[in-house]
Structure 1
Amino acid sequence: MGALFILLGSFWLGVEQGRKLSERPRQIRLLKSALQSLEAEIVYGHTPLHESARKLSDRLPQPIASLFSSFAHLLTTTEMDAQSAWRKSLQDIWPQTALKEEERSILLEFGDTVGRHDRLTEQKQILLTLTHLERQEQEAAEKYKRYGKLYRNLSIIGGLFIVLLLL
């Protein structure tokens, strides 16, 4: 029975690591989609930032929806400026994401400019952020292709090795 638990536990560990790898490109795609929608709301819809963020939070899956929901909430209920609200929101949801430090720095850089410029400059900043996220998405997808199955297979082999050592 113990050997079975070790094998199941090691397999679960590998599957979980593979899931995290697959989740990262998906979340980056969601962020890109959200920023494109934000651009459309701000530039073409002339919607205020807090209202745009609230609309996005209604349309997006978790944990990205929480980022925009928290951002909209902080903008409307506190005296925080957009930069501080973005940083706080990002900090609060970060543990729930599968994103890496590279994406965090890109999003923090975006947060430094959000809500501080005219519509045209905001659009340029969003496009710059999208370009950076596109590069990260390609890298994340490549890592998933390369290491996704590897994690599962190594975890099974590692579990078998532990079982053999214990016998």
Structure 2
Amino acid sequence: MKWIGALLLLCATTWGGYEFARRLNNRPKQIRELKNALQVLEAEILFGQAPIKEACEKVANQVPAPLSWFFKEFSEQLDQCGSSLYEVWEDRLKQYWPMSALGDGEKEVMRQFGQTLGQHDFTGQQKHIRLALSHLERELEDALEQQQRYSKMVKSLGFLTGLLLILLFI
């Protein structure tokens, strides 16, 4: 019975390490997707001259999940509630963030971007999108560095933590 418990403990800690490494590996990919979404949003607003709601619907159709859910629900909620654009943006960020592998830096960039969304003319909006993209580029570099530095380590750490706990309990 001890061995079964030890094996389960080892599996659980190893899985935890692999799960954390998966989030580290998914973060750069999701930052790239977020940058792509903002570029599509920029094109829809500037060249298509679409309203925010329609532009977000088009973005939702062009980006993969879970990011597409964010933009789709954002555009749907704009119709349903009488809240301001920023309040809807904040609400969607709170709902979306736990589903993503994105970090606090990206959340702050998106929160600040949401404050400016729909508040300016086309050129002003383009400047804010470009600013958000440059901040996301910096976050991408940081995410790639963390991925290279910590990905293998956390996988090993999960396994070794399980071994340590087994040795302590036996």
Instruction: Bin the TM-score by the shorter chain.
Output: over 0.9
Determine which of 25, 34, 37 is the counterpart of 1:34. Answer: 37
SS of structure 2 residue aligned to 1:80: coil
Where do 5+ consecutive residues of structure 1 fail to align? none
Q: Work out whether 1:150 is the aligned partner of 2:153.
A: yes
Asked whether the 8 Å contact 1:74–1:80 carries over to 2, the reply is no
| Cα-to-partner distance string for 1:4-43 (whole Å, 9 max, x where unaligned) | 1111111101000101111111111111000000000110
Question: Which runs of structure 2 are paired with 1:18-57 in the superposition (5 Å)?
Answer: 18-57=21-60
- Cα distance in 2 for partners of 1:65, 1:51 equals 14
Q: Work out whether 1:105 is the aligned partner of 2:108.
A: yes
Q: Percent identity?
A: 39
Pairs aligned (count): 167
Q: TM-score, normalised by structure 2?
A: 0.93
Where do 5+ consecutive residues of structure 2 fail to align? none
- Cα distance in 2 for partners of 1:77, 1:155 equals 45
Q: TM-score, normalised by structure 1?
A: 0.95
- Structure 1 position 156, deviation (Å): 1.0
- Structure 1 position 135, deviation (Å): 0.2
Q: Work out whether 1:65 is the aligned partner of 2:68.
A: yes
Q: Which runs of 4+ in 1 moved over 4 A?
A: none
Determine which of 77, 87, 96 is the counterpart of 2:99. Answer: 96
- Structure 1 position 150, deviation (Å): 0.2
- Cα distance in 2 for partners of 1:10, 1:62 equals 28
- Structure 1 position 92, deviation (Å): 1.6
SS of structure 1 residue aligned to 2:49: coil
Asked whether the 8 Å contact 1:11–1:155 carries over to 2, the reply is yes
- Cα distance in 1 for partners of 2:59, 2:12 equals 38
Give the CA RMSD over aligned residues: 1.2
